[in-house]
Amino acid sequence: MIWLVGVPEVIDAARTMDLVFWSDGTRIKTGQITDEDSWAAARDRMESARLDFINAARRNIVHSLATVTSLPVARPALTELIRLSQPSSDATAGDETGIGGSSASL
């Protein structure tokens, strides 16, 4: 939709963000990003592109003079992403709440 109604600054920021997300997303999926340093660099590129887009949109669409300087995003470590992407051999492994356990105790 931005391509249809956006002003050039917003369109350029959207295009840049799209390029960064596709490029780094592909590098992540193909295993080219394998350590914490390369993950941090890719994450910073994506967040920077997103922040540039947000501020271009704020200036040109909502006419806000206030600049956003940081994004409210949770940035998991690469090791956490790897852990979350692995299939679990036991769906309740690590569940310390007791939720998801056997229904026999209910």
Answer whether residue 9 is part of any domain: yes
Total domains, the chain: 1
| Its pTM surpasses 0.85 | no
Answer whether residue 103 is part of any domain: no
pLDDT per residue over 47-80, tens digit each? 999 999 999 999 988 888 788 887 666 667 667 7
Answer whether residue 99 is part of any domain: no
Write out the residue range of the structural domain in which residue 28 sits. Answer: 2-82
Residue 90 pLDDT grade (very low, low, confident, very high; cuts 50, 70, 90):
low
Answer whether residue 46 is part of any domain: yes
Answer whether residue 55 is part of any domain: yes
In degrees, rounded to 5, the angle at the alpha carbon of residue 54 between the alpha carbons of residues 52 and 56 is 65
Cα 34 from Cα 20, distance rounded (Å): 18
